[in-house]
Amino acid sequence: MERQYIVALDQGTTSSRCIIFDQNETIVALAQKETRQIYPRPGWVEQDPMEIYATIYGAMNEALAQAGVGPAQIAAIGVANQRETSILWDKETGKPVCNAIVWQCRRTAEDCEVLKAQGLEPLVRRKTGLLIDGYFSATKIRWALDNIPGARRLADQGRLLFGTVDTWLLWKLTGGAVHKTDYTNASRTMLFDIHARDWDEELLRALDIPRQILPEVCASSGLFGMAQAGGRQIPVAGMAGDQQAALFGQACFEPGDCKNTYGTGCFLLVNTGDLAPQSRSGLLTTMACGAGGKPCYALEGSVFAGGSVVQWLRDEMRFIVEAADSEYFAAKAPDNGGVYFVPAFTGLGAPHWDMYARGAIYGLTRGTGRNQIIRAALEAVAYQSNDVLQAVVQDSGLALKELRVDGGASRNQFLMQFQADISGVRTVRTQNAEATALGAAYLAGLAQGVWQDPAEIKRRKPIEAVYEPAMDPAVRAKNLAGWQAAVSRTLTRQ
Ligand code: ADP
């Protein structure tokens, strides 16, 4: 059979990457270009939309050259992207009206307080599955309409378009012909009714955002449009937000399938199938991709301080030289020695939700040493992930068979074994670490017939390591109680 290739574009916050896979999921080329972050004021984060596109396009051309593959051999393009980041542009000139307002940007924090004071939170929660927060696109769009000279007028003239990064890339790749997004990205705007699967008039009115600037919303796997590359037309056939793409890339196609990405922070998502459970623990309900890329729902929770705790040990405490060394030193401590580390550097997320909490280490004695603290730091990553996992189980009513893991810190064997032990769930690291790009490739490849059977994809997924829960139940209970006590003492609201 002739080799077929799928181009996965992975546009992240700090870099634009292109990975080319063949139909056996082998990576045949990878190219990466850094993207600049712009900090015009404290708490504000922007990026240049033209640079976002130029770096993705550059990475794609570089990867194609590396692979020695011509556009004619590319079956499809899939896109995975940083979520919530918002771009507005004039469709006549193709020029953005301002910089992209990045998900991390806090410029609309006060606007969100106003919306909460207006009593909008229950409506937002019920319809979008989100909480009112400046991370999501809605208040960023509103800010641009109110503050960028001429933006509102362009909208009135029907010339202004809004897009998350997927939409902007698609519009550019198709030469301005296609203005579409997918369900997963739409569900992060705080304007999308995830039950009706449509933009919500009530929220649009409340935020004074005109519907005509919004893209058409499509399933994540399917033909979005034809990209013009190297004088040929290549179908863009898959798009999803990065976390949902990673869930799909881990072959978490069925309800109860669950993944955790251990990066700077941790992102845990569980596929909940056709059910969109409303969380009682402050998790987000969002749209994701089920078998064959069909729309489904997911619960999502994040840990703010994941691998960043290890960075802190390395850069601030200078306890270790490289992140990977944490495993060696942690394993030298025979047990936790009663030491608990609550790394609430920027507050605590789900299910505790305390933005004002700050980090603390408990249980120090005269004999506590470096190894003990390194061990407590790694354990904290697992405890926090477990808190999210248990909230997911409670809110979804689903029994989790296993936890699939990816991200830099998932290579830490001590951390993964402790995760399995403390959560009582088998923890599985699949071989291909590029879950996000692979998810985008699956979505595009399934739409174009490169792959037909999601079950087959799942079956043949190579497993790198499996960690079975092995902790004595009494020890586990004692550890969990110790962690809970430490968290309680850290919360500012007692
Ligand atoms: P991101 O995409 O958020 O930049 P990565 O998936 O590249 O993150 O993971 C990097 C993070 O993982 C860093 O915070 C680093 O400290 C941590 N990390 C990397 N390798 C290890 C390891 N072997 N043990 C523990 N932490 C690690």
Res 231: pLDDT: 78
Antiparallel, parallel or unpaired: β 46-47 and 74-81: unpaired
> Which stretches of the chain score pLDDT less than 70?
1, 494
Res 453: pLDDT: 87
Which atom of ligand 1 sits closest to the CA of residue 307?
14
Res 234: pLDDT: 94
Nearest CA to ligand 1 atom 25: 409
Give the pTM.
Answer: 0.92
Res 226: pLDDT: 96
From 10, 35, 261, 264, the mutation candidate for ligand 1 (largest count of ligand atoms within 8 A of CB) is 264
Nearest CA to ligand 1 atom 1: 263
pLDDT digits (tens, 9 = 90+) for 50-104: 999 999 999 999 999 999 887 788 999 999 999 999 999 999 999 999 999 999 8
Nearest CA to ligand 1 atom 23: 324
Nearest CA to ligand 1 atom 14: 307
Res 70: pLDDT: 79
Res 2: pLDDT: 73
Query: What distances in angstroms separate CA 459 from CA 91, 104, 415, 453, one per listed residue?
Result: 45, 37, 26, 10
- Is the CA virtual torsion 285, 290, 293, 295 positive or negative? negative
How many Å apart are CA 475 and CA 321, to the nearest integer?
A: 31
Mean residue pLDDT across the chain: 94
Which atom of ligand 1 sits closest to the CA of residue 14?
4
Nearest CA to ligand 1 atom 26: 409
Res 493: pLDDT: 72
Res 71: pLDDT: 79
Query: What distances in angstroms separate CA 23 from CA 75, 209, 381, 389, 445, one per listed residue?
Result: 10, 42, 35, 33, 8
Nearest CA to ligand 1 atom 9: 408
Q: How far is the CA of 374 from the centre of ligand 1 (A)?
A: 15
Q: How far is the CA of 139 from the centre of ligand 1 (A)?
A: 31
SS (H, E, C) 193-255: ECCCCEECHHHHHHHCCCHHHCCEEECCEEEEEEEEECCEEEEEEEEEEHHHHHHHHCCCCCC
Res 1: pLDDT: 56
Start-to-end CA distance of the chain, whole Å, equals 64
Q: How far is the CA of 434 from the centre of ligand 1 (A)?
A: 14
Q: How far is the CA of 215 from the centre of ligand 1 (A)?
A: 35
Q: Which residues is 362 bridged to in the sheet? A: 340
3-state helix, strand, coil in the chain (%, to 5): 40, 25, 35
How many Å apart are CA 158 and CA 166, to the nearest integer?
A: 21
Residues lining ligand 1, Cβ inside 6 A: 263-264, 307-308, 310-311, 323-324, 326-327, 407-409, 411-412
Res 451: pLDDT: 93
Res 454: pLDDT: 87
Q: How far is the CA of 280 from the centre of ligand 1 (A)?
A: 30
Which atom of ligand 1 sits closest to the CA of residue 327?
24
Closest to 374 measured CA to CA, from 332, 419, 422: 332
Q: How far is the CA of 14 from the centre of ligand 1 (A)?
A: 14
Q: How far is the CA of 407 from the centre of ligand 1 (A)?
A: 7
